[in-house]
Amino acid sequence: MKKWRLFTFTSMLPESNYLFVHTLLSWHHENDRQLPWKVSKDPYQIWLSEIILQQTRVAQGLPYYERFLQLFPTVFELAAADESDVFKAWEGLGYYSRARNLHHTAKEVADIYSGEFPKTYEGLLSLKGIGPYTAAAIASFAYELPRAVLDGNVFRVLSRVFGIEQAIDLPEGKKSFQKLAGSLLPSEHASQFNQAIMDFGALQCVPQNPNCPDCNMQSICMAYQTGRVKELPVKAKRLVKQSRYFHFFEVIDGGHVWIEKRIAKDIWQGLYQYPHIESTDPLPDAGSVLWTGINYQDIIPVFSTKQQLTHRTIYAAFYRLARTRLKEIPDSWIKVELSRLQEYPFPRIIHDYMNRKEWLLLFNSGEK
Ligand code: SF4
């Protein structure tokens, strides 16, 4: 791992920014996280790591990164892969639109750019699933272009150290933070600065209980000096959380089971599931009728669970249903040998059911 020459490039910065950058880089000199994608200059590997790590902790994302590189060592292998194989490799990470965009972009890079990622920030930004943050990360890490990254970690660090009360989720605020991050960036060492500030936010200046007592920024941190650490960063919008209620039916048919593919533009698009209905309440109306005249009240509940996503809580109840109870099977259902079920990509909540250890009724407990 290349070690940094702090004084060479911090000395080129304006005086007002010098202290912050120097203190940050001194911290990183001692606390650099050794991660495989950080030593790579390959835009494919950097892009892969950035997409996997969106909304995902490093410890969880690392085995996925390694698995993807093993299965799809270059952008050409990923582009040529079947979508189900990409989803299968992604299974358990959630936010499946990322996997879909990943596959789409791999095809675009392989077909239109002959396997070479664009070498400009704007070119990277034009690719599907690559927003300003990811474009800046690839541009700086792979090509050393002077682009400052702005993710949740960076917002938090800048907001606290510089005592900024502008909301980080409004366009005006974003613009100000982008300007500040850009003004701090040492132009010839963009990757080192970007890595340092992201690591500092991820390890030291974390959202809850930041390690202020043992922080080398104390003397220059406005939030610490003025007792506002808990108040910063400021968000304007409070997240409105939505609840969704899914009811899945395991229809066993000899040594087979019926599943269906989620094709609608919705969560888990492209993944598989047991046939289901969705209701607006925890328990559908006792008189609800399923596909072929079967009453909801005749179905045996087996298990229920929930999954917390960023914007919504998913409640899932699972039931058993004998094939003989169904007069017809809808065209969209797929009959799969039980022994081959694991070959299909499923959302995590279905795996919760497959791996269940007990019969449990959550919905009836009154929990919402
Ligand atoms: S003193 Fe606390 S709030 Fe300020 S940078 Fe350090 S960890 Fe973050």
Q: Using a cut of 0.75, tell me whether the model's pTM lies above it.
A: no
Is the CB of residue 99 below 6 angstroms from any atom belonging to ligand 1?
A: no
Q: For 48-93, write each residue's pLDDT tens digit.
A: 999 999 878 888 999 999 999 999 999 999 999 999 999 999 998 8
Question: What's the gap in Å between 204 CA and the centre of ligand 1?
Answer: 7
- Per residue in 102-129, pLDDT tens? 999 999 999 999 999 999 999 999 998 8
Q: Which of 218, 226, 228 to mutate to test the pocket of ligand 1 (most atoms within 8 A of CB)?
A: 218
Alpha-carbon distance of 356 to 84, in angstroms, equals 24
Residue 300 burial (10 A CB sphere; 0-12, 13-18, 19+) = exposed
Is the CB of residue 158 below 6 angstroms from any atom belonging to ligand 1? no
* Closest CA relative to residue 6, chosen from 145, 16, 20, 198: 20
Residue 51 Cα to ligand 1 midpoint, Å, equals: 27
CA distance 148 to 151: 10
Ligand 1 pocket check for 217: Cβ under 6 Å: yes
Percent helix / strand / coil, the chain, rounded to 5 = 45, 15, 40
Distance 133 CA to ligand 1 centre (A): 23
| Closest CA to ligand 1's atom 8 | 205
Class level of CATH domain 6-231: mainly alpha
Per-residue model confidence (pLDDT) at position 297: 65
Cβ of residue 20 lying under 6 Å from some atom of ligand 1? no
Tell how far the Cα of 317 is from the centroid of ligand 1, in angstroms: 44
Question: Residue 160 CA: which ligand 1 atom is closest?
Answer: 3
What is the CA(227)–ligand 1 centre distance, in A? 11
Ligand 1 pocket residue status of 210, Cβ below 6 Å: yes
Q: How far is the CA of 29 from the centre of ligand 1 (A)?
A: 17
Q: Which residues are catalytic?
A: 50
pLDDT of residue 46: 96
Cβ of 24 closer than 6 Å to ligand 1, yes or no, is no
Q: Which residues of the chain have pLDDT under 50?
A: 1-13, 360-368
Domain 242-365: top CATH class = alpha beta
Task: Return the pLDDT at 281.
Answer: 75
Contact (Cβ atoms closer than 8 angstroms) between residue 250 and residue 321:
yes
Please confirm whether the linkage preceding 345 is cis (ω < 30° from 0).
Answer: no
Closest ligand 1 atom, residue 211 Cα: 7
Residue 21's identity, in one-letter code, is V
pLDDT at 55: 77
221 lines ligand 1 (CB under 6 A): yes
Domain boundaries in the chain? 6-231, 242-365
Q: Kindly state if the Cβ of 215 falls inside 6 Å of ligand 1.
A: yes
So what's the pLDDT on residue 366?
Answer: 35
Nearby residues of 252 by Cβ (< 8 Å), 6 or more positions away: 320, 322, 323, 338
